[in-house]
Amino acid sequence: MDEALLRSLTPAVLGILVRRGADFAAAEDALQDALVEAVKAWPDDPPRDPKGWLVTAAWRKFLDATRSDTARRRREDVVNAEPERGPSPDTDDTLQLYFLCAHPSLTPSSAVALTLRAVGGLTTKQIAQAYLVPEATMAQRISRAKKTVGDVRFDQPGDVATLLRVLYLVFNEGYSGDVDLAAEAIRLTRRLATAIDHPEVSGLLALMLLHHARRASRTRDGALVPLAEQDRGQWDTRLIAEGVEILQAALARDRLGEFQAQAAIAALHADAFVAEETDWVQIVEWYDELLALTGSPVVRLNRAVAVGEADGPRAGLKALAELDESLPRYSAVAAYLHERDGDLRTAARLYVEAAGKASNLAERDYLTRQAARLNN
């Protein structure tokens, strides 16, 4: 049973159902039912044409549901109408589906859930487990999301920026649960990159690949390992090479965007065989680009770290002094720069403060260890 194949067919099949006249919500339900049937039937009787099999099964489910519906007549008009079967390449349908599931009218959590189900082909249960909420809660979230986009026309051009943010959110959720959300985000972004030609889509894909390449080295016995201390021998050079190649092609088009700039920074890190070889001067330049694009205070904070590496901790502290102390990770950055500057007492105090403000356990524990290291 090839679950990956099954899930890769999801968007195309859904697109066909919608083009045949099914409304999105009903088509999506029908496809979920068909997927469940496929999981049961395929191991004993693998279809010669998996996509055709799914389309037939899902369409039948849709008709069954429509017939049993009280609004029978209205729906039957739709069903009986001759479906349009003009040339509609899968890529178009897939792209429209991405846009619909990440529609700007949806909240981030709804868009994420709907994308994982309708585009990713995950079950509600899998998504619920990944986000640690009850299945019923996730089912409601998805059903409301479908209602929200119910009136959106399938052929409207979508908003690429919103879509990319949704995929970024999925990737950044990390690796908890049965479903590997990072790998799933990469799969969905790869697919998107084949359906639309856009430098920021490439930028996001490159960014994901470059970070994914460092995955094995990012934790040791469950504890966070900072970039400078990671075992670079564990980095996946194949993924890095792919990420760099995609990024270079995107940058060559001279339409810089946020994700390309972030990927460029990740590529510079990936390029150093040892941490000391990192080209911090270039990284600062990329942070300047990123800052010009976003104006984000978080970027300013990261830039202060890079300045600290490029021009020394005093310069980093000076850059930091211009920022708002309430920024997340401000204390952690301040602690690090003070330690590099030799003021261990202040650094230890700030590490404790940073641990108290951390928003995840791995960071809290890491920062607590830093304080303990300096205090002992």
Partner 1 sequence: MAKYLLLKHYRGAPEPVNNVPMDQWSQDEITAHIKYMNDFADKLKETGEFVDGQALEQTGTWVRYDGEGRPPVTDGPFAETKDLIAGWMVIDTDSYERALELAGELSAAPGKDGRPIHEWLEIRPFYGNAPTITE
Residues that bind partner 1 (CB under 8 A): 107-110, 112-113, 131-134, 136-142, 144, 169, 171-176, 182, 207, 211-212, 224, 227, 262, 265-266, 269, 302, 305, 329, 358-364
What is the rounded radius of gyration, in angstroms, for the C-alpha atoms of the chain? 24
If the CB atoms of residues 5 and 223 are measured against partner 1, the closer one turns out to be 223
CA neighbours closer than 13 Å in the CB half-sphere of residue 371: 19
**Which CB, 15 or 316, lies closer to partner 1?**
316
CA 141 – CA 151 distance, rounded (Å): 17
Task: In angstroms, give the least distance from the CB of 85 to partner 1.
Answer: 36
Q: Which is nearer to partner 1, 93 or 339 (CB)?
A: 339
Euclidean distance between CA atoms 41 and 1, whole angstroms:
9
How many residues make up the chain in this entry? 376
Q: By C-alpha distance, which of 312, 374, 373 is closest to 337?
A: 312
Nearer to partner 1, 152 or 183 (CB): 183
Q: Which is nearer to partner 1, 41 or 169 (CB)?
A: 169
Smallest distance from partner 1 to CB 361, Å: 5
Cα separation, 195 vs 131, whole angstroms: 28
Rounded to a whole number, what is the distance in angstroms from the first to the last CA of the chain? 55
* Cβ at position 18, least distance to partner 1 in Å: 23
For the CB of residue 81, give the shortest distance to partner 1 in the complex, in Å: 34
To the nearest whole angstrom, how small is the minimum distance from the Cβ of residue 218 to partner 1? Answer: 8
**Beta carbon nearer to partner 1, 15 or 203:** 203
Q: How far is the CB of 92 from partner 1 (least distance, A)?
A: 30
d(CA 108, CA 208): 19
- Cα–Cα distance for residue pair 99/11, rounded to 1 Å: 12
Sign of CA dihedral 92, 86, 3, 242: negative
